[in-house]
Chains A and B, each alone.
Chain A
């Protein structure tokens, strides 16, 4: 199971049997609206607050994941999820609605893969046969908590990123049809002393590089083993920095086999500055876009590295640095798994 210091190889190969993705109007106008199950045309979702809208999106993503599978909700054993709001309340309220045993996680934007890795681990160890794993974020709710009021006219620098409004959820099963989860590498907190919350891509890049390098070494494969290595939300700056760092360390990544969800979810010309971010960024893009590509056999092996910056508004104001983390999970098509 454990290979090296922090990589799990899942010998029973848990399967992603179905996915559910939800997003807001800004994503509907983006690059991959066709791959998302449910698109809302209003960020309020007819709720009285953005936090409630976030909760509804999480619930809908879970419901879609169950609906897209052949099982009933009652067969699901655990719900493992998180979001970006203080004390992850939207997820906890969604867990109440789902009425399932629940683990709440917080790894900022790396929550998606943390949750997937833990789900796969539990299933691999016969701890459950069906687990719902996902995460969500809401642009306006996150702006309110981490930055300024939504309508405040402050100018953001070109390094800033746009938090994705959406939720992504997968149903992980012991057996079934679909892409298999073959391994996961748990990230370490990497802090390079970066302290600008408007440049999280630059802060998170070393964490992503550390996890990718460790994963490839401990799994003893080359970067070319994967059709795609996908990072969560490094954005323009983080993507460029990490690609240069990886190449310097002799890991053969190019613009073709190394993509970023933050640069995939929005199209050219949307005012997102350096790209998308947020917990839902990797969840919606990977579960919606890239897993669909795997189903169409356009991809057979991917490594998803979700990156998160674990700061809070308080630590930023107290002039602390931004601790960053990246969790990696490899997903491979059923036919040619080693």
Chain B
């Protein structure tokens, strides 16, 4: 895709882009991966602690503890986002804080805070899912396709 796009450019632009590329600060890929691994792992570790506590102190089983754990993590994210800490964690951790459910929570909450100035209905309501909306849409669609595949395999595949 990138190469195809490049071919349509005039030669001067192509020449400039490679000239510029040599001077561009590169994303520190390996460092980012390591940071993402540890921060993402740490968030999951906190999630594990929460679910273990819930099973130990309350009447939850391993199957039912998922929802309250996710809710608690998102609740914590809400505070971190509101106090302006989550975006700093995000700049440091990248995918580490974006991939877990806290990243999803942050996307919804930050948009809700941002558009508060335009009112509750058109502002918060209309813009809350502007980042996370596509995750919900394609997530639900992917789940639908996979459950169809599962159904077909069970009905005709003899699983």
| A interface residues with partner B (beta carbon < 8 Å) | 48-51, 144, 148-159, 191-194, 199, 202, 205-206, 236-237, 240-241, 244-245, 271, 274
Q: Is the interface of B mostly helix, strand, loop or mixed?
A: helix
CA–CA, A156 to B6, complex, Å?
24
A residues less than 8 Å from B10 (CB atoms)? 193
Shortest Cβ gap from A181 to chain B (Å): 31
Q: Is the CB of B17 within 8 A of A155?
A: no
In the docked arrangement, what's the CA distance between A323 and B91, Å? 28
Given A155-B94, A193-B13, A241-B20, answer yes or no on A149-B110 (Cβ-Cβ < 8 Å). Answer: yes
A150 to B114, CA, bound (A): 7
Q: Which residue in A153, A205, A271 is a CB contact (below 8 Å) of B106?
A: A153
What's the minimum C-beta distance from A270 to chain B, rounded to whole angstroms? Answer: 13
Chain A residues with CB below 8 A from B86, complex form? 151, 153
Q: Does B57 contact A (CB under 8 A)?
A: no
CB pair B90 A202 closer than 8 Å:
no
**Is B98 part of the binding interface, using a Cβ–Cβ cutoff of 8 Å?**
yes
Of B23-31, B47-55, B59-67, B138-146, the one with at least 4 CB within 8 A of chain A = B23-31
Q: How far is the CB of A224 from chain B (nearest CB, A)?
A: 25
Q: Which residue of A lies closest to B114 (CB)?
A: A149
Closest B residue to A245 by CB, please name it: B19
State whether A48 and B117 are in contact (beta carbons under 8 Å apart), knowing that A148-B131, A152-B87 are contacts in the complex: yes
Query: Closest chain B residue to A273 by CB distance?
Result: B25
Q: Is B107 an interface residue (CB 8 A)?
A: yes
Please state if A158 and B25 are interface contacts (CB–CB under 8 Å).
yes
Among A191, A241, A244, the most chain B Cβ lie within 10 Å of the Cβ of A241
Identify which of residues 1-57 in chain B touch chain A, using a CB-to-CB cut-off of 8 Å: 6, 9-10, 12-14, 16-17, 19-20, 23-28, 32
> Across the interface, which residues of A come within 8 angstroms of B69, CB to CB?
none
Residue of B25, B81, B90 near A159 (CB, 8 A) is B25
Give min CB distance, B120 to chain A, whole Å.
Answer: 14
Chain B interface: which size bin? 35 or more
Among B60-108, those with CB < 8 Å from A are 81-82, 84, 86-91, 93-95, 97-98, 103, 106-107
CA distance A206 to B86 in the complex (A): 36
Nearest 6 interchain pairs by C-beta: A153-B90, A149-B114, A155-B94, A151-B110, A49-B117, A149-B110
A155 touches B91 (CB 8 A): yes
Q: Which chain A residues border B89 with CB–CB below 8 Å?
A: 153
Of the A-B pairs whose beta carbons lie under 8 Å apart in the complex, a sample of 26, sorted by A's number, is A149-B110, A149-B111, A149-B113, A149-B115, A150-B113, A151-B86, A152-B87, A152-B90, A152-B106, A152-B131, A153-B86, A153-B88, A153-B89, A153-B90, A155-B91, A156-B91, A157-B25, A158-B27, A192-B12, A192-B20, A193-B17, A194-B17, A202-B20, A206-B16, A237-B24, A244-B23
Bound-state Cα–Cα, A229 to B12, Å = 25
Complex: A37 Cα to B107 Cα, angstroms: 37
Contact A151 B109 (CB under 8 A): yes
The 8 Å CB contact of A144, one of B88, B97, B98, B114, is B114
